[in-house]
Amino acid sequence: MKAAVLKAFGSPLVVEEVPDPVIGTGEVIVDVAAAPVLAYADEVFSGARRYLLPPPVIPGCGAIGRVRTVGPDATVLQAGDWVFCDPTVRSRDDARMPDIVLQGWSARGDGGQRLQQYHRHGGFAEQLRVPTENAIRIGPITEAEAGPWCALTTLLVPYGGLLAADLRAGETLLVSGATGHFGSAAVAVGLAMGAACIVAPGRNRAVLADLVRRFGDRIRPVTLTGDEETDRARMRAAAPGPIDCVLDTLPPSVGSPVVRAAVMSVRPGGQVVLMGGVGMLGGDDLALPYPWIMRNDVTVRGKWMYPPDAVARLAGLIRAGLLRLEDYAVAEFPLAAANEAVAHAAGHGGPFRLTVLRPGPA
């Protein structure tokens, strides 16, 4: 099969013939129809993000495709089924604290790196081998719809955070980083889950206005000033009542005061979920007052990715028309143009934009 291979950090991807994946027990082989190219892929491939992705490797975080072959433990999946290849691979020998790897993208800890030695290659290829539980049926689609369905890779991340926060219909949500790629997805997912109102802070007035255009008066935009106290007051004033939940999706380039301004706008008894990258590349870490957390009974938790059942649940929101893939502008590239796709993704990121590779039929 053909694949785009990262030979070394800082080097272009090389599209070449590689051996077809070989199925084992508990695995599925998928013919890849489309694979998302994340906006920061160039930072990963250059080594700037210092991800644990030892080259040579076929990268790619998730894919949409059709089942080619199933192993002996599959009781529902059949050849030809359309599936989302979930890159979040969990070890099977510790149900309480499984090691996790993002297949074709990164790993964490010693156990994750050991897992990565086997579940290594991602979706920038004509075929992909995944654990049986990671080939998740999404129902029938056309070949042309494979690209837009790659938005699952983006939408699932904030969905995992909102599930962790136990967001309830009718609650008020604040999305810190609402004008970004994952933050705008959090806005769409939060509305699909029934949020009555979403406070959307950001510096980009055009993107804030676009969120209101897309979703109406359930969006309460807040233009940030850079002053922590002023911005917190503006966020609270924009909400129709107490803010029940804050979800942070800000990238590593943002300073901790911006996060703190949003986090401390939550009501007493509220939920805060941290999913961003602040502090990952240096700079001050997030500091929150102990008395404020304790006396206000605030829950602050981190969340990485999403639970195993999230894919099917999110697909249900899409099938029900509560979450619209049509909101995404999709730019598609053939596998031979993998480097062009990475460059395009870097220059055309942001809200409701999606770059995909099409290793299979267009």
pLDDT, tens digit (0-9, with 9 covering 90-100), for 53-95 = 999 999 999 999 999 999 998 999 999 999 999 999 999 999 8
Total tally of structural domains belonging to the chain: 2
Entry pTM: 0.94
Alpha-carbon distance values, 166 to 8, 149, 298, 318 (Å): 41, 25, 14, 19
Q: Which structural domain, as residue segments, surrounds residue 15? A: 2-151+328-358
- Asked if residue 226 and residue 140 are part of one domain, the reply reads no
- Asked if residue 281 and residue 161 are part of one domain, the reply reads yes
Any idea what the CATH number is for the domain that residue 240 is in?
A: 3.40.50.720
Q: What is the residue type of 61?
A: C
Q: Is 89 within the bounds of a domain?
A: yes
Q: List, run by run, the mean pLDDT of 10-residue segments along the chain (362 residues).
A: 97 97 95 96 91 94 97 94 97 91 92 92 98 97 96 97 98 97 96 98 96 97 96 98 97 90 98 91 86 98 94 96 96 98 94 94 52
